[in-house]
Amino acid sequence: MDIMADEQPQPGADQAPIAINILAQYTKDLSFENPRAPGSLQQGAGQPSIDLGINVGVNEQPQDNVYEVVLNLNAKGTTGEGKDVAFVVELAYGGLFQLQNVPQEHLNLFLIVEAPRLLFPYARRVFADAVRDGGFPPLMIDPIDFGQLYMQQQQRMQQQQGGNQDGGGEGGETPNIILPS
């Protein structure tokens, strides 16, 4: 009879459950420019080609375990072989997240991947509505795989650090990630 096997604690039995609360989500900044209106809206102006940029920023707040995650979306619509700007739209969409009992090794991954994934559908709607309200067809951004983009960013950072052995980048801040357009 093996008594010790029955008395061994289960892994994670002492750990408090992970709690993730979205305290708020909000439009932090929104800008739409239509510099060539009304000419850019008239028939024959052509459908603009779109250059899209995405950036995720994280700011730790003074409250315990509260982080602001800001999803920045920007797009420039051009016509005439990219020479004429039809519109420019910029959105900073934020969320306040309270995280409790999240292991340190998972914190950055949550803030850079999971939090933007939760914010994206709402930011996408605000972004599309701004373009539509500017007189253009709504700009519907395809879903973004923040996990894959995070991994690509990590690989780029490792390659850059491989060539730069000065030990920089250890400031304790949660890094921003800039996702390619």
User: In degrees to the nearest 10, what's the CA dihedral of 145, 71, 96, 28?
Assistant: -160
* pLDDT in the model for residue 44: 65
Helix (H, G, I), strand (E, B) or coil at 36: coil
What pLDDT does residue 141 have? 92
Strand locations in the chain (E): 19-33, 49-60, 66-79, 84-100, 177-179
Joined together, the tokens standing for residue 69 give 């995650």
How many CB atoms within 10 Å of residue 180? 10
The amino acid at 164: N
Contact 108, 176 (CB under 8 A): no
Question: CA-to-CA distance for 127 and 110, rounded, in angstroms?
Answer: 23
At the fourth CATH level, the homologous superfamily of domain 17-42+49-141 is SecB-like (3.10.420.10)
The single-letter DSSP state of residue 114 is: I
> What is the pLDDT, as a whole number, of residue 175?
47
What is the block-wise mean pLDDT of the chain (181 residues), using blocks of 10 residues?
46 72 96 86 75 92 91 91 86 95 88 95 96 91 90 87 55 45 41
Residue 176 is predicted with a pLDDT of 52
The Cα–Cα gap between 157 and 177 comes to: 10
Task: State which amino acid sits at residue 20.
Answer: I
Residue 43: the pLDDT is 67
Q: What is the pTM of this model?
A: 0.77
Give the integer Cα–Cα distance in Å for 36 and 39. 6
